[in-house]
Structure 1
Amino acid sequence: MALETWIGLRYLRAKKRSGFMSFISIISILGIALGVIALIVVMSVVNGFQKEIRGQLLNIAPHAIVGHMMGASENANWHDLQQRFDKQNGVIATAPFLSGQGLLANSGEVRGVQLTGILPEQEKKVVDYANKMVFGSFDALKEEEFGIVLGKGLAHILDVEPNSKVTVITPEGNVTPAGVVPRLKQFTVVGVVETGVDEADNTTALIHLADAQKLYRADDAVVALRLRLADPQNAPAVMQKVLPENERLTIWTQNWTDNNRSYFNAVEMEKRLLTLLLTCIIIVAVFNLVSSLVMAVNEKQADIAILRTLGLSPRGVMKIFVVQGMVAGILGTLTGLIFGLLLAWKIGVMIKWVEEQFGVHFVSSQVYFIDYLPSDIQAADVIGVVVISLTLSFLATLYPSWSAARTQPAEALRYE
């Protein structure tokens, strides 16, 4: 062991006259540990929310959508689009759909919905919730039978039962001598689906594609395609490959990131701000570390002078206090790392236990899509926290060690 390292480690030990200094060192170590714990846990929870919500969105939302531009060729239809995109690399499956606004009425309740016409046998290939039926199935949607599948929440609001009737009201009205009246059509409830996301369960209303075309008086050119991608996380890049820019004059495209980009940007910004704020905990602890090192330098003036007289260079004196400060920083960082990883790993279980014991609920699925606290520990974030902590600890040692190196032996020993 180098002499400077050995002396620096000895200075960490508390003596009777330096107990207060040692207490400040312990506080700084605990402060660094607390900051590291907070950073690891918060970043893991934010990552968990991003991962879970992204997964929920990909379960209910199409990975990508393509359709013909308004005013495209008169012969344009969704069949040609499907033949083209079914052969593209990166596209697993496609399914046609027609979406329009409408109102559902039953038992005195009226709810606005996004009514979607689908082909059941193809729709099941592009969405994951087709097998999560409370009753009925997608296959019960048959052409000209005017059946409808509702989300679980919507079915509860409208108080419907199997084979009960709901009235669909579309904004496109019929022109009569008395004026424009809304177009009404009764549909039979043939199924209820549970997507797992409250917002979708409260607005989902599916009918057969042919019935939707009749209801909205739409031809095949208006029908678009849902695409299921092999790599939905990179949907923008995949769609750029399958549909280059020069071909987007007649075909429009949209992927799941377009509708949700602002949300994920907000979450990412929140993560950065939380990281910045929680880093302040480490900074405060580092100030305590600076204070303890300054006090150590003042207390060890005579020792420093003797070491300088015996031939220790100013650089060697600096190393002594750098070692002392860095050991404190490493101890705090290591302690925070261990407890931070353990807490981040079990944070969901701990929060659930608190909810059960005190009858409270911290995470609402109506707000966050999920009703539990997720955690996703990412190595890059953990390494970043460790680097920040060690870097700040090192910077905290520079001034005290530089001050110690400037000590003049004659001045320090004058009154000894």
Structure 2
Amino acid sequence: MFRPLSLFIGLRYSRAKHKNRFVSFISIASILGISLGVMVLIVGLSAMNGFEKALRDQLLSVIPHGELEVVSGSFNDLDKSLLSVLAHPQVVGATPYINLSGLLQKDSKMKALQLRAIQPKSENSVTNIEQYIEQGSWKLFTGGERQIILGKKVAHDLGLAVGDSLKLLLPEPSENNRLKAPKVIPLTLVGLFEMGGQVDRTLGFMHIEDAQNILGLKAANAIAFKVDKVLDAQQISRDVGYNLKEYMYIKSWITSQGYLYQDIQMVKSLMYVILLLVVAVACFNIVSTLVMAVNEKRGDIAILKTMGASRWTLRFIFIVQGAFNGLIGSLIGALAGSYVALNLTAIIKSFEQLIGHKILSGDIYFIDFLPSELNMDEVIIIACTAFVMSVLATLYPAWRASKIQPAQELGYSH
């Protein structure tokens, strides 16, 4: 009997106009504060989720998840080593490759670059770089022809077009620390790729047979592989590397690109803390609203007490009143945040067109748009957390309401 009474009176107090307009203002401010905090938290986390998805789907599609590189020389038995790598249950694909670092030269222009000498047949089992090749493809790669595929930005910097010739300058090993002239390798540009970010400016591809001839290697000196769980790539790389006998460097994408993922996780954590504090501040407005509402309703509370209302009945009245504000604020924030998160990319593109400036530069980041991925589990958690915080904010004013003495309020004396 008492709980429905508490619910009825609490909802009536929530909808009723306050005698003091300042109380009404603070009540509305508390709802708007909770809504804004919930909305911004949902939008911010959706943007971070979008970056995380773009990292997995785009950057990690062209960067091997794990790499094993022999310290000196090449693999003694490459085929056996490849089978050993592929035997690991969490390895999806593997391919041999050779790393070269040198200078590309076209007339008087030069560019430092890391070249990745690949085996075209098996490269697609590890990376999806071929889908970003705008001119040419792996099919144009034939061993012995000394061909190269470059990022469009590198080709633009050097003034190159598909079919042009260029030179690769490689350092020559020297004895007694004496300087030697670099080895000059003539190459032909057969393709251009554009993925976005720094990869376009730092990476190029050539055929593995050409690299073996240039460096005088019997086989590849490195193996790249793809794993089924990218976040476990570091541990999987170690497990795979320890099964091989060669003395080698063990690397994963976390070694070279992990800072991006760590930055995303750090920003998400900070966003949780900061924006939940914003919601907490909004919930404190509920405390102020209810304290003033209790002072305003002291006579009503005294009458209810004389009619037999228990302390918990009175407490539930004001808990319901405060929880109502928290519920409305959480729902409005969740709906508004979900709508903005689902349309965030389009909203930011419209804003970029309005100001005539790109917020994200494709030259710096691996994407040139603001991604967004709404996670409904996070929306529910955020909305529920805000609601629980608003309910907790009602406990002190509700406790104060239950302490009011009817005799003092109604003018009776003992």
Common topology (TM > 0.5)? yes
Q: Does 1:369 align with 2:374?
A: no
Partner of 2:395: 398
CA 371–406 in structure 1, closer or farther in 2 if over 3 Å, else same: same
* Other structure's SS at 2:364 match: helix
Letter in 2 for 1:138: W
Structure 2 gap segments, 5+ residues each: none
State the alpha-carbon separation in 2 of the partners of residues 106 and 69 from structure 1. 32
Partner of 1:286: 283
Letter in 2 for 1:211: D
Partner of 2:5: 3
Quote the offset at 1:328 in angstroms. Answer: 0.8
Given candidates 375, 386, 390, the residue that maps to 1:389 is 386
Partner of 2:207: 208
* Other structure's SS at 2:259 match: helix
Aligned residues of 1:172 and 1:216 also touching (Cα < 8 A): no
Alignment of 1:117-132 (within 5 A): 117-132=117-132
Quote the offset at 1:62 in angstroms. Answer: 0.9
Partner of 1:264: 261
Quote the offset at 1:379 in angstroms. Answer: 2.6
TM-score by length of 2: 0.91
Quote the offset at 1:354 in angstroms. Answer: 1.7
CA 205–307 in structure 1, closer or farther in 2 if over 3 Å, else same: same
Aligned residues of 2:115 and 2:203 also touching (Cα < 8 A): yes
398-407 or 107-116, larger mean C-alpha shift: 107-116
1:105-160 C-alpha deviation (Å, 9 max, x unpaired): 11322111012212222223322121433322223332222111112111111111
Aligned residues: 410
Alignment of 1:230-379 (within 5 A): 230-236=228-234, 238-239=236-237, 243=240, 245=242, 250=247, 252-379=249-376
Given candidates 48, 51, 65, the residue that maps to 1:49 is 51
Quote the offset at 1:186 in angstroms. Answer: 1.3
State the alpha-carbon separation in 2 of the partners of residues 390 and 159 from structure 1. 60
Quote the offset at 1:387 in angstroms. Answer: 2.6
CA 415–38 in structure 1, closer or farther in 2 if over 3 Å, else same: farther
Quote the offset at 1:162 in angstroms. Answer: 2.5
Partner of 1:135: 135
Quote the offset at 1:247 in angstroms. Answer: 5.5
Quote the offset at 1:201 in angstroms. Answer: 1.5
* Other structure's SS at 1:186 match: strand
Partner of 1:92: 92
State the alpha-carbon separation in 1 of the partners of residues 22 and 228 from structure 2. 62
1:267-299 C-alpha deviation (Å, 9 max, x unpaired): 211111122222232122112111110000001
* Other structure's SS at 1:367 match: coil
Letter in 2 for 1:204: L
Q: Does 1:109 align with 2:109?
A: yes
Partner of 1:145: 145
State the alpha-carbon separation in 1 of the partners of residues 91 and 214 from structure 2. 30
* Other structure's SS at 1:49 match: helix
Letter in 2 for 1:55: D
State the alpha-carbon separation in 2 of the partners of residues 161 and 351 from structure 1. 34
**Pairwise CA RMSD:** 2.6
TM-score by length of 1: 0.90
Identity of aligned residues (%): 34
Quote the offset at 1:92 in angstroms. Answer: 3.3
Structure 1 gap segments, 5+ residues each: none
Aligned residues of 1:59 and 1:129 also touching (Cα < 8 A): yes
Partner of 2:222: 224
330-339 or 272-281, larger mean C-alpha shift: 272-281
State the alpha-carbon separation in 1 of the partners of residues 133 and 324 from structure 2. 59
